[in-house]
Amino acid sequence: MGIETEYGISVPGHPHVNSMLTSSQVVNAYAHSLQSSHRPNARWDYDEETPLRDARGFDLSRAEADPSQLTDDDNGLANVILTNGARFYVDHAHPEYSSPEITNPYDGVLWDKAGQRIMARAVELIAQTPGLQPVNLYKNNTDNKGASYGTHENYLMARSTPFADIIRHLTPFFVSRQVITGSGRVGRGQEGREIGFQLGQRADFFEVEVGLETTLKRPIINTRDEPHADPVHYRRLHVIVGDANLAEVSTYLKLGITALTLSMIEAGFLDLDQAMAFPVREMHQVSHDPSLKHLVTMNSGRRLTAIQMQMEYAEQARKFVEDRWGSDVDDQTADVLNRWQDVLDRLETDPMSLSSQLDWVAKLSVLEGYRDRDGIGWDHARLQLVDLQYSDVRPDKGLANRLEARGSLVRLTTDDEVRRAMVRPPDDTRAYFRGECLRRYPDEIAAASWDSVIFDVHGRAALQRVPTLDPTRGTRSHVGELLDRCSDAGDLIDALFAATS
Partner 1 sequence: MPTRDTGEHQQRSRSTEDVIDEAPKASADVAERKDALDADIDAILDDIDAALETNAEEFVRGFVQKGGQ
Selected from 65, 412, 482, 496, the binder of partner 1 by CB under 8 A is 412
- Of the pair 120, 240, the CB lying nearest partner 1 is at 240
Q: Which of 217, 215, 234, 238 is nearest to 98 (CA)?
A: 238
Query: Backbone phi, then psi, for 193, in 5-degree steps?
Result: -75, -35
Q: Is residue 467 part of the contact set for partner 1 (CB under 8 A)? A: no
- Of the pair 32, 145, the CB lying nearest partner 1 is at 145
Selected from 77, 167, 329, 495, the binder of partner 1 by CB under 8 A is 329
3-state helix, strand, coil in the chain (%, to 5): 45, 15, 40
Q: Which amino acid is at 170?
A: L
Residues from 145 through 204 that contact partner 1 (CB under 8 A): 145, 147-150, 152, 155-158
Residues from 108 through 127 that contact partner 1 (CB under 8 A): none
Selected from 21, 70, 208, 267, the binder of partner 1 by CB under 8 A is 267
Q: Is residue 232 part of the contact set for partner 1 (CB under 8 A)? A: no
Selected from 240, 244, 280, 393, the binder of partner 1 by CB under 8 A is 240
- The CB-of-436 to partner 1 minimum distance in angstroms stands at 20
- The CB-of-321 to partner 1 minimum distance in angstroms stands at 6
Quickly count helices (H) and strands (E) in the chain: 14, 20
| Positive/negative CA dihedral, 209, 211, 214, 217 | negative
- The CB-of-256 to partner 1 minimum distance in angstroms stands at 5
Selected from 47, 194, 273, 330, the binder of partner 1 by CB under 8 A is 330
Q: Is residue 142 part of the contact set for partner 1 (CB under 8 A)? A: yes
Distance between CA 329 and CA 433 in Å, rounded?
29
- Of the pair 296, 388, the CB lying nearest partner 1 is at 388
- The CB-of-344 to partner 1 minimum distance in angstroms stands at 13
Selected from 41, 408, 446, 456, the binder of partner 1 by CB under 8 A is 408
Taking every pair of Cα atoms in the chain, the longest distance, rounded to a whole number of angstroms, is 75
Q: Which of 147, 375, 91, 105 is nearest to 254 (CA)?
A: 105
Selected from 25, 79, 83, 144, the binder of partner 1 by CB under 8 A is 144
- Of the pair 42, 314, the CB lying nearest partner 1 is at 314
Q: What is the CA radius of gyration of the chain?
A: 22
Selected from 164, 232, 381, 498, the binder of partner 1 by CB under 8 A is 381
Geometric angle at alpha carbon 137, from 133 and 140, rounded to 5°: 155
Query: Backbone phi, then psi, for 138, in 5-degree steps?
Result: -130, 130
Stretch that binds partner 1, among 30-38, 55-63, 303-311, 383-391 (CB under 8 A): 383-391
Alpha helices by DSSP H, listed for 271-394, are 279-287, 306-325, 331-349, 359-374, 381-389
- The CB-of-204 to partner 1 minimum distance in angstroms stands at 14
Query: Total residues at the site for partner 1 (CB under 8 A)?
Result: 92
- Of the pair 199, 362, the CB lying nearest partner 1 is at 362
- The CB-of-377 to partner 1 minimum distance in angstroms stands at 14
Stretch that binds partner 1, among 81-89, 407-415, 439-447, 474-482 (CB under 8 A): 407-415
Selected from 103, 285, 308, 341, the binder of partner 1 by CB under 8 A is 103
Q: How many CB atoms lie within 10 A of CB 164?
A: 9
Q: Which of 315, 305, 360 is nearest to 337 (CA)?
A: 315
Residue 467's DSSP bridge partners are 452
Q: Which of 492, 475, 469, 416 is nearest to 230 (CA)?
A: 469
Residues from 341 through 370 that contact partner 1 (CB under 8 A): 342, 346, 350, 352-353, 355-356, 365-366, 368-370
Q: Is residue 425 part of the contact set for partner 1 (CB under 8 A)? A: no
Q: What's the start-to-end Cα distance of the chain, in Å?
A: 31
Q: Is residue 92 part of the contact set for partner 1 (CB under 8 A)? A: yes
Distance between CA 476 and CA 483 in Å, rounded?
9
Q: Which of 405, 429, 402 is nearest to 415 (CA)?
A: 405
Distance between CA 108 and CA 71 in Å, rounded?
24
Residue 150's DSSP bridge partners are none
Supply the residues annotated as catalytic: 91
Selected from 320, 360, 432, 450, the binder of partner 1 by CB under 8 A is 320
